[in-house]
Structure 1
């Protein structure tokens, strides 16, 4: 793994700045949750409950960063995430808005558009 790839992964998982596409959000959220659910019982059994608290903090910070990046992609502040702990409404909002709403086209105040700009396959010029 190159240093550039490691830096991209670090920014994706542990920095709330920037924007993330829906596909990247879902894929990363599912993978992080699966790793957490697989490792949490093991960590608790080997190291005890107090170390597990740190594991939860790391998981929730990662989830916050992913959701903040999705908020930024749809042009909203991460302060909208205060809705998430609200019973029923917060979960529905997080799934529908963060999970299914398309991001703002083009750059916005939170960063460049994470969608790649379509490039033509070939440029044909007329010769005179």
Structure 2
């Protein structure tokens, strides 16, 4: 589980090109939420709330990058991330992120399942 998180943070920190499998995206999100909760808890206990903000800023770019690459895997532009800013309509983004990727190469690159 942690290897998916580290893959995004180490290898694809500022990478918006290519494709990301569902597993890569959801494992990154799961570990990110767990770490954010732990950091928030510790920061609250020591009354240093700014620590959570630093973590959020540190994972902002990798999070946007893996989301854009996940959208590329289903054949959508990374700009579809902006749908998440629209109340209720943003739920469609979750639907898109849960879809199976396009089999074979598409306009955004080779199939990550076939490569891995």
The TM-score range, normalised by the shorter chain, is: 0.7 to 0.9
Q: Is the 8 A contact 2:36 2:52 kept in 1?
A: no
Give structure 1 regions of 4+ aligned residues with deviation exceeding 6 angstroms.
none
Correspondence list, 1:90-105, <5 A: 90=90, 92-99=91-98, 101-105=99-103
Q: Is the 8 A contact 1:44 1:52 kept in 2?
A: no
Q: Where does the alignment leave 5 or more consecutive residues of structure 1 unmatched?
A: 1-5, 118-128
CA distance in structure 1 between the partners assigned to 2:8 and 2:31 by the alignment? 16
CA distance in structure 1 between the partners assigned to 2:23 and 2:105 by the alignment? 18
Q: Deviations over 1:54-103 (max 9, x none)?
A: 2222233332122111111011111111111211221x21221111x121
Correspondence list, 1:68-79, <5 A: 68-79=68-79
| Bigger radius of gyration among the two | 1
Q: Is the 8 A contact 2:39 2:51 kept in 1?
A: no
3-state SS of 1:41 partner:
helix
Q: Where does the alignment leave 5 or more consecutive residues of structure 2 unmatched?
A: 1-5
Q: Give RMSD over aligned pairs.
A: 2.5
In structure 2, what is the equivalent of residue 107 of structure 1?
105
Q: How many residues align?
A: 110
In structure 1, what is the equivalent of residue 34 of structure 2?
34
